[in-house]
Amino acid sequence: MDGRALLLLLSLSLLGGCASVRTLDAAKPGAPIIYSGTRLDWYSLNGGCCPQDRFGAVAPKYPMLDLPASALLDTLLLPFAVAAELGVGLGVRGGL
């Protein structure tokens, strides 16, 4: 197995623990939308007691390792998060 395949496999295994992915479908009223995964990691790193109550998602086991990936993913998803925060429907659908 070459290095790229190993890196891809490692990345995919960590994706389930990514705070940004966890908060995407949290659907908790009042939960942060913009930079939600990054904020969840930061909250956890600073000793936040109840991430499930605040974010609607469990914090990753290793928030310090997850923080850079969540910041990157949250930045890529920022236009969608801002639209959701403003209540703008983008009409984006998956599947056929």
pLDDT cut 70: percent of the chain above it = 76
Q: Give the whole-angstrom CA distance, residue 96 versus residue 93.
A: 9
- Give the residue extent of every domain in the chain: 16-86
Long-range contacts of the stretch 78-81 (C-beta < 8 A, 24+): 78/34, 78/35, 81/33, 81/34, 81/35, 81/36
- Better-predicted residue by pLDDT, 84 or 13: 84
Question: By the 8 A CB rule, do 66 and 17 touch?
Answer: yes
Which amino acid is residue 7, in one-letter code?
A: L
Q: What distance lies between CA 5 and its chain's CA centroid?
A: 24
Which candidate, 49, 44, 48, 53, places its Cα nearest to that of 18?
44
> Could you tell me the pTM of the whole model?
0.73
Per residue in 20-58, pLDDT tens? 888 887 777 888 889 999 999 999 999 988 888 889 888
